[in-house]
Structure 1
Amino acid sequence: MGLVLILIALIVFIVLATTRFKLHPFLALLGAALLAGFAYQLPVLEIAGHITRGFGGILGYIGIVIVFGTIIGVILERSGAAITMAETVIRLLGERFPTLTVSIIGYLVSIPVFCDSGYVILNSLKNALAARMKVSVVAMSVALATGLYATHTFVPPTPGPIAAAGNLGLESNLGLVILVGLVVAFITAMAGMLWANRFIGKDIELEDDGAPIMDSNDYQAMRDSYGELPSPVKAFAPIFVPIVLICLGTVVNLPARPVGEGALYTLGTFLGQPIFALAIGLALACTLLKSDNKRQELHDRVTEGLVAAAPILLITGAGGAFGTMLSATPLGDYLGQTLSTLGIGLFMPFLVAAGLKTAQGSSTVSLVTTSALVAPLLGQLGLDSEMGRVLTVMAIGAGAMTVSHANDSFFWVVTQFSRMKVATAYQAQTMATLVQGIVGIITVWLFSLVLL
């Protein structure tokens, strides 16, 4: 029992350090790793080795993938490719189902672009559509936000799911994580959209800051600020080509070896490795650069991407250090014996991730910390198969979206840009993320009955 109490104390330390004392999650996780070493009475001279091995081990592979994915997202954001993606979806789906349209737009755009940035970019488009189709701004806002939120927590190359997959030993099988993540994310996005539909016909009073809500003229001005927008092929290629290559790498490596083991197998395996797939994606993203001095523009975008990726890399590395420290303790065996009798399986990582998300606000921190925490316990939980690890990433992702409220930056982005009153935002946005999280874990559990 003492082992569990130490673990609970470490989780409380992480939550309090990041919330009340405003300590950066990187330092909080490293501090928790150090405290774990002493609390579990590991040999003092081995503690530093566990921390550095855990930190370097996770970043040695996943770090480059996170950086490439972040740079691609920055280029897509700055080039107006996200606008092209959104307008392509509108052309395909029309305007008959407004909340479905903006939900799918969010679902696609948030694969490469952070959900906060995606919402800011698409806000004026969403408001213009709401005005044109005479639909509640609140309904459209929640549909867009939950679409963005779904792929943000489930689908690589978004950094949170990549880091969780790395912590759980799936860095060489991201294709399977992407395939399952796309399905789970779509189901949770639709759950968010259905919740948003509750507000379609309601006349909800919004905050008045003295300026009118953006209409189609404002959207056109914002669109024009990007200059000439890229074509749909150019806009979608930097993200969907890497995803296809990663999934191809997974297919050619199936036990049945569908393409044999010759040159085609070698080529598919090589291009399907996330590092090379995303390198190709970055090369395709470079075709979106449009200034006269493309070399300088690329340098600027890479710099922006590195700045955005740095805190995620540090948090991911510190999470790896924390997980490695826990795996060196007798905690795994003890919890395994205890948890195996309870039979909670995938619900354990979901509840831990949901508790961390609700307490400290960051989905990425929740994904990294929980995956580091449960990695040593997969065998005891009956989840140490390849599919068991993938579904564990999904369960953690479902927890990491439960729930978005006042301590989450995304909550305030949605609230402020849509002008929802805080009380309205809790009813609409926060409750939507609760619905998404519950639907997400139920979906993952149902998958586990079939796939495990």
Structure 2
Amino acid sequence: MLSIITLSILVLLSIVLIVILTSVTKLNAFASLFIVALLLAMVALPDKDVVQILKEGFGSTMASIGFLIIFGAIIAVVLEKTGGAISIANYILSKTGHGKAASAMGITGFIVGLPIFCDSGYIIMSGLVKSFSTKAKIALPFIAFVLATSLYSVHCLTPTHPGALAASGILNANIGMLILLGILFAIPATVAAFFWIKWQTRKNTYEETEPSKGEIGNEGQLPPVSLSLLPIATPLVLIAIGSLLAVMKVPESNFVLKGLAFIGQPIIALLIGTFLSLFLLKNRAVKSINSILESAIEKAGPILIVTGAGGMFGMVIKETGVGAYAGEFFLQTGLGLAVPFLIASILKTAQGSSTVAVITAASFVAPMLPALGLDSETGKLLAMISMGAGSMMVSHANDSYFWVVARFSGINSNTTLKVYSTATIVMGIVTFLCVWLTSFFIL
């Protein structure tokens, strides 16, 4: 039996190895997580059934989040292919006016970012960024980075996205409540980024740019905004109702409330959103629907595999007992919620992927929760948001999203580092401070 000190060193080395494999050697995230989980299990748990531990970690994660990722991917693909996301952006701009184009892009990014991954969302909306910048005579970096950070905030904090989903499964947190809290805490992050970017780009002069060819200019081709919003808003409303009823503990005799509680479960709510998204399709033939489903499954497949591998790595760490020991140590430091935040921050900055950072952090933090006093439902939720805040810091040159933002906006990397990367630091710190202050009232 290895000593707890030896086990702790092995776990730390395994995390360092994940960082090296994903960021230095550029090895696929699934392969990195699987190899490291297997090696750690073989070395640290020689007396246990290694294969069974790996299967249990992978399977339990898939059971908790698999359907959510698939349904979310279908909604995202439909919004992308039908122009629903562009329709929402145009509608918001028509209400705010060209003078507030940056605010319009921020609101659009926040809404569109709920079902769509930040990189996909930015690629879809990048044409509108250049068009809005030209029409409103607003500096391109201002409007581009506002869109980038609003998409990024919900990507890191809400479990409609793979990192937060996988981490919530590892921590066994209430996904419905986490979606609502994630959206709530993403608001101050987005607002803080907006004002930081506005201040950073205050001296920039407007330069004429050509509208992107990626923009869908003919609004007659776009679906109605009400129909575009339906697959996003309906699941959120249903989940909010379901979470509220879960807190209230619905009586068995009330079938209406039981029915609402059933459709308010995240899986059922997203399934309903998926059906509603199909109304955006002009061609609803089986062949057309199959094409959408195949695209979504192709998109969801790699994400499912990575999140499952993250759950597997988490199960191995849990079996070593290092997390509980580390929790006792950190408890004496009085850091509390800062522990999950700092771990996720270090991992994100070191290897670039918010998804890998939050999954790895959750694997490390989960066994610490009792020692940190965060094993209650509320404690798990706050720990999750803290890790989400940490997974925002710092998006720089080792993050693929950084390059998506720079290349699709046509802004040089130095400006992107100066404005966008520093904005992600502000977002992470502001979000964590909000979580920390909230903990005094609800924890």
Instruction: Give the TM-score, by structure 1 length.
Output: 0.92
Report what 2:242 is aligned to. 249
Task: Give the unaligned 5+ runs of structure 2.
Answer: none
Could you tell me how far apart the structure 1 residues matched to 2:307 and 2:150 are?
25
Deviation at 1:373, TM superposition (A): 2.0
* AA matched with 2:383: T
CA distances 1:182-214 after superposition (whole Å, capped 9, x unpaired)? 1110110011101110244423699xxxxx733
Kept after mapping to 1: 8 A contact 2:323/2:368: yes
- Name the SS for the 1:223 alignment partner: coil
Q: 1:161 aligns with which of 157, 161, 164?
A: 164
Query: CA contact under 8 A between 1:175 and 1:248: conserved in structure 2?
Result: no
Q: What is the number of residues matched between the two proteins?
A: 439
Aligned positions of 1:276-295 closer than 5 A: 276-291=268-283, 294-295=285-286
Residue 232 of structure 2 corresponds to which residue in structure 1? 239
Instruction: Say whether the 8 Å CA contact 1:136–1:202 is kept in structure 2.
Output: no
* 1:93 matched residue in structure 2: 96
Q: Which amino acid aligns with 1:283?
A: F
* Contact persistence 1:358–1:402 (CA under 8 A): yes
Question: Is 1:43 the equivalent of 2:47?
Answer: yes
Q: Which residue of 2 aligns with 1:382?
A: 373
Q: Which residue of 1 aligns with 2:182?
A: 181
How far residue 310 of structure 1 moved from its aligned partner, in angstroms, is: 1.1
Q: CA deviation at 1:271?
A: 0.3
CA separation in 1, counterparts of 2:407 and 2:419?
A: 14
Over residues 298-319 of structure 1, what are the superposed CA-to-partner deviations in whole Å (9 max), with x where a residue is unaligned?
1111111111111111111111
1:6 to 5, 10, 34: 10
Aligned match of 2:298: 307
Deviation of 1:157 (Å): 1.5
**Superimposed CA distance per residue, residues 322-359 of structure 1 (whole angstroms, 9 cap, x where no aligned partner):** 11111112213321221111121221111111111112
Deviation sequence 1:218-267 (CA, Å, 0-9, x none): 57x7314786211122101111111111111111111464x775102210
**1:16 matched to which residue of 2?**
20
Contact 1:323 1:373 in 2 (8 A): yes
Following superposition of structure 1 onto structure 2, how do residues 258-337 of structure 1 map, counting pairs within 5 Å? 261-291=253-283, 294-337=285-328
Gaps of 5+ in 1: 207-211
Aligned to 1:213: 209
Q: TM-score, normalised by structure 2?
A: 0.94
Q: Tell me which residue corresponds to 1:26.
A: 30
CA distance in 1, matches of 2:206, 2:139: 10
Query: Partner amino acid for 1:213?
Result: T
Whole-angstrom distance in 1 between the partners of 2:76 and 2:370:
35
CA distance in 2, matches of 1:415, 1:111: 22
Q: 294, 311, 330: which is aligned to 1:339?
A: 330
State the secondary structure of the residue aligned to 2:216. Answer: helix
Q: Deviations over 1:41-77 (max 9, x none)?
A: 4415x11111000100110131011111111101111
User: Any idea what SS the aligned residue of 1:175 has?
Assistant: helix
CA distance in 1, matches of 2:55, 2:249: 38
Q: CA RMSD in A?
A: 2.0
Q: What is the CA distance between 1:153 and its match in structure 2?
A: 0.8
Q: Confirm whether residue 398 of structure 1 aligns to residue 401 of structure 2.
A: no
SS class of match (2:374) = coil
Indicate conservation of the 8 Å contact 2:176/2:265, yes or no: no
In the alignment, residue 65 of structure 2 is paired with which amino acid? I
Q: Deviations over 1:107-131 (max 9, x none)?
A: 1111111111111111121222212
Kindly state the Cα deviation for residue 24 of structure 1 after the two structures are TM-superposed: 1.3
Letter matched to residue 59 of structure 1: M
Distance 1:334 1:376 in 2: 8
1:75 to 68, 78, 84: 78
Residue 209 of structure 1 is matched in structure 2 by none
Q: Percent identity?
A: 37
In the alignment, what sits opposite 1:57? 60
1:132 aligned to 2:132? no
* In structure 2, C-alpha distance between the alignment counterparts of 1:88 and 1:225, rounded to whole Å: 14
